[in-house]
Every structure is written in structure tokens, then in C-alpha cells.
């Protein structure tokens, strides 16, 4: 461990911290929005969490407020950054049991007024299109590509890829965000097929509705419409990291429907 890295704090007792030690989780894009909410829930449940973000100091600041967490600089668009960050997280946590692929950018990067003044795809700047796809799709691929061989060598692991509602993928004015998320979902399903029966599981997790994050600022929210709090992601992501989720593979779970999904699974009502 480099002398520049702060010492990891002790994880709290909880469902993700058993006799063998805490579950070790890498959360990409963990400094805000859904990523921060999931990192918080995991840490508070006892997991040892590596919070990552493009800004190393910001990642470290967020991690400092969470038990058992470390902050790691990671730009998911950059192969060398991904390699360094995974190396650091693996070394400092002593391994990675679960990857939460969450880092992403939204429509604001190409059209700040996308909620009130949507643009046709032909009006989207090419550089903006590439930047969104490189983050939301290529980024998922690069981090999973780096982590998966380590998990296979370790005998298992879990990958949770964060998704969005299907309507977002074909909504007017949502190029390039919609196609980037459709691509990441297709990537996840292929990953799950490739990893079937290997001990490494892959699942999709989505909020289940529009959520208040940095991608959707409060001043752009239409009046009279209800939006989800990012904390909705906490219960399902903690469950996916737990012993109860062992063997769960190639599922698409909406956080808003998680309680019912889990009841149906427990009672055998799901096909």
C-alpha cells in the first residue's frame, strides 16, 4: 500500500460482515447519485467498500464518511486507470467479492435542457455521443474485463450492472444516453451467458423509475411528477451482496419491485 493511501477503517458489524470478514465491494461512480447511495448502504451493512470516481480526492472524501470504505481514483473510460484502480482496490481490500458497475453520465452532458428542450439525434454533437457511450457502455466492459479474470481465479464473485427503465432506451430526445444504456444491458446479458456455471454471477439492477440524481437536477423536474430517492437502491444491492443471493444469476431486478420480487422468489411463484 502506498504511503499516500489512507488506512482503511474497520467495517461495522452487519449482514455483510461475518466470521470470514466483510464482503469486499468495488462501486464505480460511487461519489454521487445511485453509486453513493449503494456504497452507503453496503458500508452500513458491514461491507468493505472501494468508492471510486474520476476525482481521487472526492472519492477519498466520500469514503472517509463511510465505515470500512476506501476511496480510489478511477476513470472508467481509460484502460490504464481501470487497471491501476482495480489493482489498488484488490490490494487494499484483500480481494473483490462484488463489482457494482454504476459509473455513467447522462443527457445533461450533451443537452443541459434535455427535459424541456429535447433535441433530435441529428443535433447531438459527435464528441458528446462518443463520451457518453465510452462511459456508460465501454466503461462497464473495461471494468468487468479487468475484474472478471481475478474473480474466476479466486473461485467466484458477483457483478451487478446498473440499468435503467426500458422506456429510457427508446425515448425521444435521448440519444446518446438511451442507446448507451441499451448497449450496457445487452452487454450484461452476454456477460451472464459467458459466465454461466463459472461461479461468477451477473445481474442487472435498476431503480424502477426516474430518480433524483445529478443526471436529473431538481430544478429540471416537471411539476406534479414523483421521483425516486437514490436510497431505493440500498436494500436490493445489499441483498445481492449477501449469502442469500448465492447463485442468483442473469436476473433483472427493479428496486421499486424488489420486495415483491423477493417474496415471489421465496414462495416459488417466479418461473
Task: Identify any residues that bridge with 228 across adjacent strands, giving them in sequence order.
Answer: 211
Cβ within 8 Å of residue 260, ≥6 positions away? none
Q: Which helix (H) or strand (E) holds 49?
A: strand 48-53
Q: Which helix (H) or strand (E) holds 183?
A: helix 177-195
The reply to whether 177 belongs to the active site is yes
Cell representation of residue 41: 448502504
SS3 50: strand
C-alpha dist (Å) from residue 78 to 35, 146, 170, 185? 19, 12, 28, 21
Check the CA dihedral 67-258-168-161 and report its sign.
positive
Q: Which of 114, 140, 174, 177 is catalytic?
A: 177
C-alpha dist (Å) from residue 63 to 18, 28, 120, 218? 21, 13, 39, 25
Cell representation of residue 158: 458477483
Side-chain-side CA neighbours of residue 193 (13 Å)? 6
Catalytic residues: 177
Amino acid at each position: 500500500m502506498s504511503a499516500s493511501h489512507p488506512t482503511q477503517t474497520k467495517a461495522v458489524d452487519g449482514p455483510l460482515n461475518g466470521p470470514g470478514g466483510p464482503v469486499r465491494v468495488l462501486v464505480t461512480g460511487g461519489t454521487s447519485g445511485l453509486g453513493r447511495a449503494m456504497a452507503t448502504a453496503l458500508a452500513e451493512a458491514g461491507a468493505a467498500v472501494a468508492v471510486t470516481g474520476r476525482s481521487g480526492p472526492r472519492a477519498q472524501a466520500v469514503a472517509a464518511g463511510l465505515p470500512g470504505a476506501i476511496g480510489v481514483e478511477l476513470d472508467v473510460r481509460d484502460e490504464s486507470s481501470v487497471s491501476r484502480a482495480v489493482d489498488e482496490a484488490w490490494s487494499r481490500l484483500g480481494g473483490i467479492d462484488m463489482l457494482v458497475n454504476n459509473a455513467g453520465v447522462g443527457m445533461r452532458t450533451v443537452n443541459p435542457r434535455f427535459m424541456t428542450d429535447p433535441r433530435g439525434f441529428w443535433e447531438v454533437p459527435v464528441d458528446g455521443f462518443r463520451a457518453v457511450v465510452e462511459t456508460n457502455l465501454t466503461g462497464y466492459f473495461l471494468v468487468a474485463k479487468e475484474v472478471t479474470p481475478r474473480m474466476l481465479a479466486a473461485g467466484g464473485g458477483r457483478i451487478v450492472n446498473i440499468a435503467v427503465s426500458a422506456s429510457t432506451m427508446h425515448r425521444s430526445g435521448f440519444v446518446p444516453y438511451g442507446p448507451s444504456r441499451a448497449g450496457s444491458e445487452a452487454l450484461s446479458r452476454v456477460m451472464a451467458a459467458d459466465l454461466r456455471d463459472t461461479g461468477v454471477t451477473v445481474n442487472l439492477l435498476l431503480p424502477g423509475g426516474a430518480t433524483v440524481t445529478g443526471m436529473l437536477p431538481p430544478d429540471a423536474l416537471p411539476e406534479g411528477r414523483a421521483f425516486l430517492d437514490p436510497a431505493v437502491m440500498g436494500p436490493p444491492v445489499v441483498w445481492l451482496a449477501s449469502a442469500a443471493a448465492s447463485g442468483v444469476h442473469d436476473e433483472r431486478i427493479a428496486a421499486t419491485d424488489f420486495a415483491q420480487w423477493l417474496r415471489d422468489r421465496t414462495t416459488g411463484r417466479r418461473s
